[in-house]
Chains A and B, each alone.
Chain A
Amino acid sequence: MSGQDQALNARTAALQNLIDRRDIGAVLTRYSRALDRADLDLMKSVYWHDGVDNHGVFNGNAAAFCAFIIREIQNWFEVTTHNLLNVRIEVEGDHASAETIHYAYHKVRAEKVGEIFGSRYRAMFDRARLDREHHVFYAGARYVDLLSRRNGEWRILQRQVVSDWNDNGPSGEVLDQGMFATLQPRGTRDGADLVFANTPAEAARTGAG
């Protein structure tokens, strides 16, 4: 092979690796969007049909996990955000591994405080207060993923959630007073969230005035 061919091959391999990382990154963030917007079909598109998710709270087939978690996340929590921080991806051909640090906020429904936090936590608070106050938890964890590419598309084969820490307490949220009253719109789970209309086509319409 000539030096020029070698340089071309190295360039193609480098570009392929960058493209794979981009595509895997999009799978990882698509999961957060699906979960926080409670979009079951979108979440299923993150995993292969034979994929597995070992989430601790559910361990097994990924499609069954999706049905479980999209239902329960709405039962347990009023609001969630699943932020992804450090993303470490390794790609070899059609297979990849990824470790992604995840820092999440969960606002627990008042009636679910005992179920989520347990009896010791519940006993710390006045029963009447529990009925009208909200509690939140932050969780620090890592998504430890194995992925494969089939017909040019990357999806998760196996996800293992590793929990590092959690932090629970009464909600300090203010929605209707002070500066917070002005902070509209709010995120929703019903498909009406503003993100779904936020497309390149919409940018083109905005640009056309």
Chain B
Amino acid sequence: MAVSDADIEDLIARRDIYEVLTRYSRALDRADVELMKTVYWPDGIDNHGVFNGNAAEFAEFIVREIQNWFEVTMHGLMNCHIDVDGDFAAAETYLFAYHKVRAEKAEEIFGSRYMAMFDKKGLDPNHHHFYFGGRYLDQLERRNGEWRILKRQVVMDWNDNRPSGEILDQGMFATLEPRGERGQGDLVFSNTPAAARKLEAAE
């Protein structure tokens, strides 16, 4: 069976689009506003519900607010369904996200009905988290060989809110170091192919 140039082009486009999608999660969870801006075209739009409008403004807004609202976030991507047609593409990506809400922001995030349910007892009475299940519906364009998002629409399918069940200082969890960080101190930023080459050469 012959491999056509069109097949190879399609695989490359999918690889590059997936890289854009996961770059967004890295930028958000590590709170890197410059990295997040590279995910969208300058005239891009993000309709996120909590903010709807120009993507660069969304990037400034969300990278600031995510640090005000949450101690930790994880934006996990699952099913990724991409359709490519020339220089345009559409993608649907399932999102499973964790958010640990700052104690002082709980009322703002969850509202009064939720907060009235708790008696400040339990493992970590001041912290609550939420899981979010939704989808990113993206329209992308390739310009000068580079794929970026033209328009993102977030669709919420469900959310699930709870008192935090987190343990950081006891049992097995006390051994689980290092922890993720926001900013360039996170270990991922020094994890490069060059570091692999250096490590292998040292052996």
5 more CB-based (< 8 A) A-B contacts, given A93-B193, A96-B193 = A117-B173, A140-B76, A163-B173, A163-B177, A165-B166
Interface 0/1 of B159-203, CB less than 8 Å to A: 000101111111111111111100000111001111111011001
Question: Are A56 and B176 in touch, CB under 8 angstroms?
Answer: yes
Return chain B residues, CB-CB under 8 Å to A67.
Answer: none
Interface 0/1 of A81-97, CB less than 8 Å to B: 00001111011111111
Q: How far is the CB of A59 from chain B (nearest CB, A)?
A: 9
A101 close to B (CB within 8 Å): yes
Question: Are A85 and B179 in touch, CB under 8 angstroms?
Answer: no
Question: Are B123 and A86 in touch, CB under 8 angstroms?
Answer: no
Q: How large is the interface on A (under 10, 10 to 19, 20 to 34, 35 or more residues)?
A: 35 or more
Return chain A residues, CB-CB under 8 Å to B199.
Answer: 146, 157-158
Return chain A residues, CB-CB under 8 Å to B78.
Answer: 85
Within 8 A of B (CB), among A145-162: 145-148, 157-158, 160-162
Chain A contact residues: over half helix, strand or loop, or mixed? strand
Contact partner of A103 (CB less than 8 A), chosen from B76, B167, B186, B196, is B76
Look across to chain B and name the residue whose beta carbon is closest to the beta carbon of A96.
B193
Could you write out 10 A-B pairs with CB less than 8 Å apart?
A: A87-B22, A88-B22, A92-B193, A95-B193, A116-B171, A117-B167, A160-B187, A162-B186, A163-B178, A166-B176
Look across to chain B and name the residue whose beta carbon is closest to the beta carbon of A139.
B176
Return chain A residues, CB-CB under 8 Å to B174.
Answer: 118
Q: How large is the interface on B (under 10, 10 to 19, 20 to 34, 35 or more residues)?
A: 35 or more
Q: Taking A85-B78, A117-B167 as contacts, is the C-beta distance between A90 and B172 under 8 angstroms?
A: no
B151 close to A (CB within 8 Å): no
**Within the assembled complex, what's the spacing in Å between the Cα atoms of A90 and B191?**
10
**Within the assembled complex, what's the spacing in Å between the Cα atoms of A59 and B157?**
39
Contact partner of B123 (CB less than 8 A), chosen from A76, A88, A121, A144, is A121
**Within the assembled complex, what's the spacing in Å between the Cα atoms of A87 and B18?**
9
